[in-house]
Amino acid sequence: MNFKQEFLDKLLSAKKIVFFTGAGISAESNIPTFRGKDGIWNKMNPEELASFDAFMRNPDLVWEWYQQRRDIVHKAQPNPGHVAIAGLEKHYDVTVVTQNIDNLHRRAGSTKIFELHGNIERNFCIECHTFYNSPDLETTNTVPKCKKCGGLVRPDVVWFGEMLPQDEFSGGEKAAEWSDICFVVGTSAVVYPATYIPMSAKRGGSYLVEVNIESTELSSYVDYSLFGKAGEILPKILEEVKKFKN
């Protein structure tokens, strides 16, 4: 793969790099994306599964759906895209700002991660806010009850109509603003406020690079588009970096 010189020059001088990622980076780990022809939201109605109202209407149904997604995530492995991002930490100050809840960046070895939409491995009681890690809850298809107060336990993920975790968002926004390069990987970039992250990067003077199998809402806005699979392109970027950094 031939990268354009302007991008290579940026890689050479950059110190801080942000990866803003979406479901596409986990597609090669066989975790389905949300949009596109096999997307989750083509088959399911988000309002019926991913909202607090849906949970209160039918907690067992919502819990069971997340339980199925946990199974998929547990069986999945980080792919070469996640691994390359973690590998770049050896050469740069890398921050991952992800919309994914699948924990794969952490499992791949990335250490600085802002999770804008929560994490499927964490849960909390809707009454007293006690946190529970998924492995500590009995694997069951009915919603668990809080051991302290008997309240319903829900996954710690952001549902439609809910606010993003403030610290994660502002941490991610600052990292983006201060970055030298911001990669936008595997996201359709249609969900706000998450998509403000690459915009903050651009506003702060960062060089925006998109990695996606197709063009997106952000394609005309970025400085450089790399079309192809994240699991193929990101390892090539790491290889390139290794030629001039050690």
Residue numbers annotated as active site: 117
Residues within window 70-89 making contact with Zn ion, judged by CB under 5 A: none
Structure tokens, 91: 């050469």
Residues 6+ away with beta carbon under 8 Å from 152: 55, 59, 125, 126, 127, 143, 144, 145, 146
Residue 125 binding: pick among Zn ion, ligand OAD, none (C-beta 5-8 Å cut-off by kind): Zn ion
Question: Within the chain, what is the greatest distance between any pair of CA atoms?
Answer: 60
Tokens representing 49 are 């599964």
The token duo for 184 is: 């936008």
Ordered strands of the 131-133 beta sheet: 131-133, 118-125, 153-157
Nearest to ligand OAD of 85, 158 (CB atom): 158
Comparison of 15 and 145: residue with beta carbon closer to Zn ion: 145
| 151 contributes a contact to Zn ion by CB under 5 A | yes
3-state helix, strand, coil in the chain (%, to 5): 40, 20, 40
Binding test (CB under 6 A) with ligand OAD, winner from 86, 229, 237, 241? 229
| 26 counts as binding ligand OAD under rule CB under 6 A | no
Comparing CB distances to Zn ion, the nearer of 75 and 147 is 147
Contacted by 89, from ligand OAD, Zn ion, none: CB < 5 to 8 Å by type: none
Residues in contact with Zn ion by CB under 5 A are 125, 127-128, 130, 146, 148-149, 151
